[in-house]
Structure 1
Amino acid sequence: MAASPDEPAPLSALVQQVSVPHSKFTLDNGLTVLVNEDRKAPVVAFNIYYNVGSKDEPAGKTGFAHLFEHLMFYGSDNVREGIMPYLEKLGATDWNGTTWFDRTNYFQTVPKGALEKVLFMESDRMGYLLGAVDQKRLDMQRSVVQNEKRQGDNEPGGLVEYELLEALFPVGHPYRHSTIGSMADLDAASLADVKQWFIERYGPNNAVVALSGDITEAEARTLMQKYFGAIPRGAVNNPAQAAVPTLAAPKNIVMKDKVATVELQRHWATPGLLAPEFPALDVGAAVLGGLKSSRLDRILVREEKLAVSVSANAQPFHRVGMMEINVKVKPGVDPAVVDKRLDEIVADYLANGPTADEVKRAGTEFVGSKIRGLEKVGDRAGKAPTLAEGQLYAGDSDFYRKQLAAYAALTPDQVRSTMSQWLSRPVVKITLEPGERPPYVESKPVKSTAKADVATPSVKRADPPFTASPPLDFPTVEHATLANGLKVRYAQRAGTPLTSMVLSFDAGFSAETAGQRGLQNMVMSLLDEGAAGMTAQQIAEKAEILGAEISTSGTPDRSRVSLSALTPNLVPSLKLMSDIATRPDFAPVEVERVRTQIVTSIAQAKTSPSGIASRALPALMYGEGHPYGSTAAGDDAAVARFTRDDLLNFQQRWLRPDNAELFVVSDLPFAEMKPILEAQLGGWTAPAVAKGAKQFGAVAPRRSKPRIVLIDRPSSPQTFILGGAITPVDPRGENSAFTAGVDLLGGRAGARINQDLRETKGWSYGAFGYSSPNERAVPFMVQAPVQADRSADSVLALMKQVKDIVSTNPAKPEELSTSVASIVGELPGSFETGSSVLGAMQSNALFGRPDDYQERMASLYGGLQLVGVNSALRASIDPNSIVYVVVGDAAKVRAQLAKAGLKAEEMAVR
């Protein structure tokens, strides 16, 4: 390919490249099936969408659709084990189930050889579920769902949605209550309710199945008839209808919560997904506050510096939609001033509309996002869900094509008139202020009539065998060196017109000294805020018109500039990335703006349960002065005093070609790619200053007993537990035995820790243990958000699980076989996209692994012996060395810990 011109490809040309060829058929029982053949990997995505969601819940049963979704994961007549462990044994990737206002879906991508087992499982829970649903399962999943609700509610701003929906929609409107529901309604759900919900709504004639991947239409017809054909039609479900309401007058709501700064919100009810106005509303919201170059970003954040961040979004549902604007006020600025200015900007926008260039940039962003999503066969935005959603909502599996055409054809006047029509109506204003939220409405104990037995299966069906799938064929990695010495690793991944690359510097926040915590993050945050004479606004606009995504980030060991480019626009996109990475301006005015944003984000992290714990643990594990003893965001006091010279010095010492490596995955052959890379990066030279050198010392000494650190977060309905310890594992060693052991202990839904705290005890929505390797150290971690009244019990349960696996209850043969099956089976689906291949290439480089390491994993893990895994765990994990950070309401948690005999030291939020 010759070097592309600097001008971007026309939006119409990009739209023409988006295509998901497929076939459609319907079984006699009414089940609609869509099939897309995609042979790039030996995997198949299965997505099933049921035409029922929370809008269809009767009064007094809010949250019921979502509660039922949970029950669907806990066995059917002939699959009596939990569905999550069942899928993990098959090597499923991108699997889950979700509920929203309009639909409930279940999805997974599996190796081709596991497809029949998935079809058996999914058909069994569609047609033969109720024999396995009993009071015990209902009570347990009710508890899990209520912990999921607490987890979301516990976040700063977690209660806003409830107030918003009640303000925006009238009494009786199907969209007036949240999908998660109320504690009282969840408490009241009965077994009879569960069974009736299934009977009335889960018939095959109320569902759409989409299959995408290594499968033909003929294969799909045979298999779908075999597994789903005998399921009888269900009742005809008529999902709730809903009109778009208009408020009689504006509403103003003031709420208080654990937020770092005042948030100003605007909300309107608007037309939904199928309305002809929706594309204009979506583009209009993007231009106003969704793009990085948006009106609100430019005026409120960059020019007038009244806000630290803004957003605007058009959220579509089936029947209605919601338009929302959110502005986080800059600390120290009068919110009333920002509130007034926000209204002025919106009024001007509604009167005058967007420019043609703004509309084109927003449309290109939408098309680029769709192309990236369709690189996958499944998950939430891939080929299968795209087809299924179109069929479910519009009765047209090609609906995505009509959407793309509509976005490409939009004019500024269409956007202006549509936005003016719908946003000139009365608005719901929500002001979220720092302060104490009202008392939390908790659940009430439910008197259980649980029984251990379940009903006899109504129909006996044989679980099909697992068929071996082809091994992973990881792309060949080519190596090259540009004229300036920059090393390149390249892999070709055909099929989607995308190029992804990462310029990776051997820096990260471990390159900081003890007094510079946060310097790396501030430098990386400023790279795209002005470079090569371009302003932040100009950079954002150029990236958007190209459909390019350019980002900067930092890990403990590496600092990265990343690019995802539409290949037709590769040359100008790479040129922009090169300018950002090699020619940053660090303009003083931008330095001060970004400084304020970072300090505010740190303040916000100090209000979030996970943020508080994540900031505290590294120093407790490694020691205050260790390079890993912090987080990327760093210390707000240090960030406040960094000078421009500090930023330049870090950039010159660390972000340079002799300290970097370039990783690229593209649909182009390397012979065409190398001249492009050479032209844009080959002339970049290292500065005269000495290259940086990291200073790693000893980690904190190991302890003789676990340490518990309690951090008070008053009025928290949940307690967040995060524990960690450094292991003696060599990051560059062959660690498959250790990795498999940690996986069966805590790395999966079916692992010991999650099974104990979620599935057996019902105290958590999800609890896990995992290793998180860095270049110089491998920590072992545990994490569990738990209901507040079980805080101490949960710490004891975590301690017991970790202690038992290295002493009295070592890993069992069946646990190891499941872990190995999961790790090996996931390989084909794990490297389906260019970005996933790019991540593997970087990991291989960081840990000194061969380029084909991912292809060797099957034999490495397949050859593991139980004795070796248990030996690796005993040698690596010391239960006494773990530090547990417990973030919750100390008034409730302190006494629990003392009663349990757990001595805790208290620490302030840091």
Structure 2
Amino acid sequence: MRKKIIIGLCMLIASSGLFAQSKKFDVKDIDIPYKKFVLDNGLTVLIHEDHKAPVVAVNIWYHVGSKNEKPGKTGFAHLFEHLMFNGSEHHKTDYFKAVDKIGATDMNGTTSNDRTNYFETVPTSAFDQVLWLESDRMGYMVNAIDQKTLDEQRGVVQNEKRQGENTPYGRTEDAICKATYPAGHPYSWTVIGSMDDLSAASLDDVKEWFKTYYGPNNAVLVVAGDVKTEEALEKVKKYFGGLQAGPPVTKFTSWPAKRIGTQREVMQDRVPQSRLYMVWNMPEDGSKDANMLDIASSVLAGGKTSRLYKRLVYTDQIASNVYAWAGTNEIGGQFEIVATAKPGVELSKIEAVINEEMEKFLKEGPTEQEMEKVKAKTYSYFVQGFERVGGFGGKSDILATYQTYHNNPDYYKVVLQQQMDATPADVKKVANEWLTDGVYILNVVPFTDPKPTTADADRSKLPELNTPPTPTFPSFQRATLSNGLNIILAERHAIPALNMELQFNAGTAADILAKPGTAKLFGSVLDEGTKTRSSMEISEEMEMLGSSMGAGSGLDRSYLYLNTLKGNLDKSLEVFTDVLLNPTFPQKEFDRLRKDQLVSIKQEQARPNSIAFRVVPQFLYGSGHPYSNPLTGSGNESSVSSITRDDLVKFYNDWITPNNATLIVVGDITMGELKPKLEAAFKGWKKGTNPKKHIPSVALPAKPTIYFVNRPQAQQSVVMAANLAPEANKLNDAAADLANSIIGGEFTSRINMNIREDKHWSYGAGSGIYETAAQQPFFVSTSVQSDKTKETIQEIEKELTGYVGSNPATAEEFANNQNNKLLQIPGTYETGDAVLNTISRMVANNLKDTYPQDNAKNLKSAKLADIHQAAKAIIKPAQLTWVIVGDKDKVLDSVKSLGYEVKLVDADGKPATE
């Protein structure tokens, strides 16, 4: 039957060379002759001739496994392996029915974290038929998959999962994956996936999976057996050569996720005996360290004569069995020891013995005798695999393994040679590097059904909330230094630390008087060197003080930031002012960071969401407006390429003056303490004459326009709708915040519940107001499946139009969001950094000093009518600017059918042609 994965080839072959200096075994005697070819469509073909029997093995490895999945979409690789056996477009019956008629042996399909393979060994008379069948399901599967087949195989896989988890210790694999890898790591879920993800898998999902990963350019085909190479190649070309290549595939090459510390977990399960699992993360397949750790696993618990087995099972007789292995996958592996306790034996006793033996092993390493014993056993297993052309561990499997993972079918020789050359010292060294820290310990203990208890709480309704705390914002003081620098201080004495932001009225909006991208690059280079300190010296000095410092630019402001302990304020302030007053913008650092910014632009131009935020400002504000450059602040390639160090010096001289700045300080200090320190620190800083940023008001367009950015082969479309809203200081900010929350600012908002929860077209959809000192962009943004691009535009337009018209915010929506936001306020100002950010917003957006208190009052006193009024002020459905980033060939015609003017632009917003 089809199985998720059999621990055999990948684990035993990838970790198979247990060789040290030995006269008995020679890697030179091991060879699988082959010829390698790559077809025009990218299919890699390996052909090995073996004429001892009239059979031929066909083994196809697709370089896709569970690690190619994403959280929320797990189990796809294994589910699709099942679907591949249900017939293709030109062979619409079960695959087994075809091969059962032709004398196939070693026939199966398996899925691992890293690959999916399909293989069969058949008489040579069936060679053509097998190639036809395999090529048909490689090239012609999409239209053969229907809802009935998907539902059927989904049920099969879910029952397989239930069956596995229903067996004793069957839930440990899931627990180990989740505990030992960080969230998002491609090995943090099991190959079989989650039940919910499998239930949610749609027909479109599995078809996209096939289109993405099952192309010939992502596959290796091995033919091994009684064939002639040239004849076999011609047959392969005949059946596979006309298949279309798939899209490029991105993959991790290494992510072992080495851990530190000890992590313990106890699992109750209906098992007869307690069991101990000890797991360490280790390097990836084929690495020398992994090969050495495989030797260590065999010495420790690789059989009855191994150290742990003899001690636990034979000598102390406290365990019924124990085993260990170094399981390797493509980007990382795990070293695991598993011991099952005899009845009545505490797992702590078994763990103590394992630790004792491990300590001895790590101190002394393996003996020569132990290594020779392990080598002989593994060499024998490996050589015996050479007898078979197909099946697990056969020659076709070996060639496919190393071609897929290492792009070299002969790589098994490298692995074997490393292991043959290994010494006890080598194994000891690597074991000490990976097995002395970072262990995860899982105790599985028998579960006893508890007796029911009487409920002591009313479960018919939620308890009432207590009286919410009164929101407060710390008071702050203002002062002015003799050089004109404005100071704002908010005292917070909870911890002996301070946060400081020196804010300048500049920002990326100042690029209108420079080259786009200058302000951002200025922020990157400012703290990279002074007249007396290099970039590294600045970093080292701040680290020694336990302080941190950074510079940057937002849309309306540029800033220099400092976080420091109060006891180190003087020394930290010395470095801070040196960076501020004596920057040298070193050419070396400038060149490096300008290259980084150019790379960042390339990345933004490749990311659909970033593209939208790059281009939308120029369509909202118009060319030449201070806010018309990309919201990322990175500029464009031509402008950034032309920026020189002198441009940063000019930016510094123009804008970095005390009379154009405000220093915001939050923390454990009084104004009486602070002001003298600042007067001394900034005494050499002189006033200057600053350019004036003129930010004109912009009229909204007379009608909607759609700007379309082509992204070939995009699986989703980014849909963004935007219009300009009034300045922050001209809005009732509380009412505007509530209005936005209801329509798109919260998970439960109308737009998200429509696009994501009801329609299932997107992972998420929402709206927001991008804060600026002048007119602010209101925008709605989402990424949706390509075939729902037009419909998404219509749904967003319908939601916005109704919200400011016939379907305004309801009393229930208003009450729920108002209450939520009121209850959030106390937590909003919990940290000094949060207080600093609020004051920084107030300064940048020209808000009143009483803004925090006024906003809380306005929020509490808001009426439903205020929400309606705010919604109409910020949302203009008839004057929207739309940005769509998607596959032109898939969606442009349907978008045009909406009747709006559609303009094609590139990733920088410049006109593009169809």
TM-score by length of 1: 0.53
Aligned-pair distance for 1:782? 0.8
With 490-499 and 794-803 compared, the bigger mean Cα shift is at 490-499
**CA distance in 2 between partners of 1:267 and 1:572 (Å):** 44
Give the residue type in structure 1 aligned to 2:502: L
Matched, 1:249 2:250: no
Aligned-pair distance for 1:563? 1.2
Aligned-pair distance for 1:235? 6.8
Q: 1:467 to 1:624 in 2, by over 3 A?
A: same
Aligned-pair distance for 1:702? 2.1
Equivalent of 2:867 in 841, 866, 869: 869
**CA distance in 2 between partners of 1:235 and 1:710 (Å):** 58
**CA distance in 2 between partners of 1:544 and 1:635 (Å):** 34
Give the residue type in structure 1 aligned to 2:524: S
Give the residue type in structure 2 aligned to 1:651: Y
| Equivalent position of 1:101 in the other structure | 178
Matched, 1:567 2:566: yes
Paired residues for 1:56-75 under 5 Å: 60=78
User: Contact 1:474/1:852 (CA < 8 Å) preserved in 2?
Assistant: no
SS in 2 for 1:695: coil
**CA distance in 1 between partners of 2:652 and 2:795 (Å):** 46
**CA distance in 2 between partners of 1:481 and 1:616 (Å):** 40
SS in 2 for 1:651: helix
| Equivalent position of 1:512 in the other structure | 511
Equivalent of 1:713 in 708, 711, 723: 711
**CA distance in 2 between partners of 1:515 and 1:857 (Å):** 36
User: Contact 1:617/1:723 (CA < 8 Å) preserved in 2?
Assistant: no
**CA distance in 2 between partners of 1:422 and 1:839 (Å):** 43
SS in 1 for 2:787: helix
Aligned-pair distance for 1:249? 2.9
Q: 1:713 to 1:850 in 2, by over 3 A?
A: same
Is there any run of 5+ residues in structure 2 with no aligned partner, and where? 1-70, 81-110, 112-174, 184-194, 214-246, 260-264, 289-329, 337-350, 352-428, 436-456, 909-914
Matched, 1:743 2:738: no
**CA distance in 1 between partners of 2:177 and 2:473 (Å):** 36
Aligned-pair distance for 1:681? 2.6
User: Contact 1:626/1:698 (CA < 8 Å) preserved in 2?
Assistant: no
CA deviations over 1:121-150 (Å, ceiling 9, x no partner): xxxxxxxxxxxxxx9x98996679979x99
User: Contact 2:697/2:775 (CA < 8 Å) preserved in 1?
Assistant: no
Equivalent of 2:763 in 757, 762, 765: 765
**CA distance in 1 between partners of 2:204 and 2:840 (Å):** 37
SS in 2 for 1:759: helix
User: Contact 1:144/1:763 (CA < 8 Å) preserved in 2?
Assistant: no
Paired residues for 1:225-240 under 5 Å: none
Aligned-pair distance for 1:731? 3.2
CA deviations over 1:314-345 (Å, ceiling 9, x no partner): xxxxxxxxxxxxxxxxxxxxxxxxxxxxxxxx
SS in 2 for 1:531: coil
| Equivalent position of 2:643 in the other structure | 642
| Equivalent position of 1:828 in the other structure | 826
**CA distance in 1 between partners of 2:730 and 2:466 (Å):** 34
Aligned-pair distance for 1:678? 2.8
| Equivalent position of 1:756 in the other structure | 754
User: Contact 1:824/1:861 (CA < 8 Å) preserved in 2?
Assistant: yes
| Equivalent position of 1:907 in the other structure | 905
**CA distance in 2 between partners of 1:906 and 1:573 (Å):** 51
**CA distance in 2 between partners of 1:717 and 1:162 (Å):** 21
**CA distance in 1 between partners of 2:886 and 2:644 (Å):** 37
Q: 1:857 to 1:607 in 2, by over 3 A?
A: same
User: Contact 1:144/1:758 (CA < 8 Å) preserved in 2?
Assistant: no
Paired residues for 1:263-662 under 5 Å: 421=433, 460-513=459-512, 516-631=515-630, 632-662=633-663
| Equivalent position of 1:783 in the other structure | 781
The count of corresponding residues between Structure 1 and Structure 2 is 538
Paired residues for 1:79-98 under 5 Å: none
Equivalent of 1:849 in 847, 850, 859: 847
Q: 1:238 to 1:706 in 2, by over 3 A?
A: farther
User: Contact 1:491/1:665 (CA < 8 Å) preserved in 2?
Assistant: yes
Equivalent of 1:727 in 725, 728, 734: 725
Aligned-pair distance for 1:635? 2.1
SS in 1 for 2:760: coil
| Equivalent position of 1:668 in the other structure | 669
Give the residue type in structure 2 aligned to 1:741: A
User: Contact 1:270/1:422 (CA < 8 Å) preserved in 2?
Assistant: no
Aligned-pair distance for 1:61? 8.4
**CA distance in 2 between partners of 1:100 and 1:906 (Å):** 46
**CA distance in 2 between partners of 1:99 and 1:779 (Å):** 46
**CA distance in 2 between partners of 1:238 and 1:710 (Å):** 59
**CA distance in 2 between partners of 1:583 and 1:270 (Å):** 51
User: Contact 1:143/1:762 (CA < 8 Å) preserved in 2?
Assistant: no
Aligned-pair distance for 1:234? 8.5
Q: 1:859 to 1:596 in 2, by over 3 A?
A: same
CA deviations over 1:144-166 (Å, ceiling 9, x no partner): 9979x99xx99xx997566657x
User: Contact 2:500/2:666 (CA < 8 Å) preserved in 1?
Assistant: yes
Aligned-pair distance for 1:603? 1.5
SS in 2 for 1:595: helix
**CA distance in 2 between partners of 1:246 and 1:651 (Å):** 48
Give the residue type in structure 1 aligned to 2:569: L
**CA distance in 1 between partners of 2:269 and 2:827 (Å):** 34
SS in 2 for 1:540: helix
User: Contact 1:141/1:762 (CA < 8 Å) preserved in 2?
Assistant: no
Give the residue type in structure 2 aligned to 1:102: A
SS in 2 for 1:740: helix
Give the residue type in structure 2 aligned to 1:556: L
CA deviations over 1:853-883 (Å, ceiling 9, x no partner): 3233332112112123212322432112211
**CA distance in 1 between partners of 2:682 and 2:661 (Å):** 12
**CA distance in 2 between partners of 1:465 and 1:99 (Å):** 40
Q: 1:459 to 1:730 in 2, by over 3 A?
A: closer
SS in 2 for 1:765: strand
CA deviations over 1:78-114 (Å, ceiling 9, x no partner): xxxxxxxxxxxxxxxxxxxx998229999xxxxxxxx
Q: 1:99 to 1:830 in 2, by over 3 A?
A: farther
Is there any run of 5+ residues in structure 1 with no aligned partner, and where? 1-52, 64-97, 107-134, 175-204, 208-232, 252-265, 276-416, 424-457
Question: Which structure is richer in relative contact order (CA contacts within 8 A, separation 6 or more)?
Answer: 1
SS in 1 for 2:599: helix
| Equivalent position of 1:803 in the other structure | 801
Give the residue type in structure 2 aligned to 1:500: N
Give the residue type in structure 2 aligned to 1:781: F
User: Contact 1:140/1:759 (CA < 8 Å) preserved in 2?
Assistant: no
SS in 2 for 1:552: strand
Q: 1:59 to 1:143 in 2, by over 3 A?
A: closer
Aligned-pair distance for 1:240? 7.0
* Percentage of identical aligned residues: 27
Aligned-pair distance for 1:756? 0.9
Aligned-pair distance for 1:620? 0.7
Q: 1:884 to 1:747 in 2, by over 3 A?
A: same
User: Contact 1:491/1:666 (CA < 8 Å) preserved in 2?
Assistant: yes
Aligned-pair distance for 1:904? 2.6
Q: 1:144 to 1:857 in 2, by over 3 A?
A: farther
Aligned-pair distance for 1:602? 1.1
**CA distance in 1 between partners of 2:754 and 2:501 (Å):** 40
Q: 1:650 to 1:795 in 2, by over 3 A?
A: same
**CA distance in 1 between partners of 2:490 and 2:203 (Å):** 43
Give the residue type in structure 1 aligned to 2:477: E
**CA distance in 2 between partners of 1:544 and 1:144 (Å):** 53
| Equivalent position of 2:680 in the other structure | 679
User: Contact 2:76/2:198 (CA < 8 Å) preserved in 1?
Assistant: no
**CA distance in 1 between partners of 2:807 and 2:275 (Å):** 52
Aligned-pair distance for 1:816? 0.9
